[in-house]
A = this chain, B = another copy of it.
Amino acid sequence: MITDSQIEAWLREDLGHHDVTNDVPGETEGRLVAKEAGVVAGLDAATAVFAYLGCEIADAATDGTRIDEGETVLVVEGPAREVLRGERVAVNVTGHASGIATRTRAAVDAAREVDPDVAIAATRKTTPGLRGIEKRAVAAGGGDTHRLDLSHMVMIKDNHVAELGLEEAVSRLRERTSFATQIEVEVESPGDAERAAEAGADIVLLDNLAPKEVATGVDLVGDEALTEASGGITIADVPAYAETGVDVISMGSLTHSAPALDYSFRTG
Contacts and interface: CB of A to CB of B under 8 A. Distances in A.
Interface string A126-144: 1111111001100100001
A182 B129 CA distance: 26
Interface string A148-176: 11111111100110110000000001001
A93 B128 contact: yes
A190 interface: no
Contacts of A45: 128
Contact of A151 (B15, B24, B232): B15
Interface stretch (A68-76, A84-92, A236-244): A84-92
Contact of A20 (B9, B92, B154, B257): B154
B178 A21 contact: no
Interface in A20-52: 20-24, 45, 52
Contact of A203 (B18, B125, B179, B260): B179
Give the secondary structure class of A's interface.
mixed
Contacts of A124: 14, 88, 92
Nearest to A99: B257
A146 interface: yes
Q: Please list the 6 inter-chain residue pairs (A to B) with the smallest Cβ-Cβ separation, ordered nearest first.
A: A16-B151, A257-B259, A16-B149, A17-B132, A129-B129, A256-B260
Interface of A: 1, 3-6, 8-24, 45, 52, 85, 88-89, 91-93, 95-96, 99, 119, 121, 124-132, 135-136, 139, 144-156, 159-160, 162-163, 173, 176-182, 184, 203, 226, 228, 232, 247-248, 252-253, 256-257, 259-260, 262, 267-268
